[in-house]
Amino acid sequence: PSICLYAQGQEKVQPLKSDFVPEDGCPITVSNIRTELDMDPFDVPMAARIYIDYQNVGQRPVIATKFRMRFTNDSGKDLGTLNGSDGAMVGPGQTGSQKWRREKIDPRTTLMKVRVLTVKFGENDVWQSAKFTLPPLPPPGQPVEGDPQPQ
């Protein structure tokens, strides 16, 4: 009899430098970012795992926060963007955390920049970044790309 076996190598993980881009008036600040790249056997990134800890530094409860994560190369060229949301209620002075995963990372990526894109308060009032722009809507019935659900 023959036996089929599949080789399973040890998964390689490499950290990716990540920076928070603060904005005046934003009620959320990011206190910690950790980004890990899952590498294939040829040291090419296959996916990124992003972990963010943040704090409500404002005076009102927050019921949702949207972050923009931009992957860049050494010269700052945009190599891909991920918008991720957290629907957790975070009171004034309290902290929250979230994690996301992005597939298909450009192999030239050397940095990820994170900014708070929009914040929704308990009264349904909204704070928006000066960099906030809506992506074009997909055709009806098509999923919205780049806005994954939290994992």
Q: What is the pLDDT of residue 11?
A: 72
Q: What is the mean pLDDT of the chain?
A: 88
- Separation between Cα atoms, residue 141 and residue 134, nearest integer Å: 18
Percent of the chain whose predicted confidence (pLDDT) is above 90:
76
Q: What is the pLDDT of residue 149?
A: 45
Q: What is the pLDDT of residues 107-117, one digit of tens each?
A: 999 999 999 99
For the chain, state the CA radius of gyration: 18
**Three-state SS across the chain?**
CCCCCCCCCCCEEEEEEEEECCCCCCCEEEEEEEEEEEECCCCCEEEEEEEEEEEECCCCCEEEEEEEEEEECCCCCEEEEEEEEECCCECCCCEEEEEEEEECCCCCCCEEEEEEEEEEECCCCEEECCCCCCCCCCCCCCCCCCCCCCC
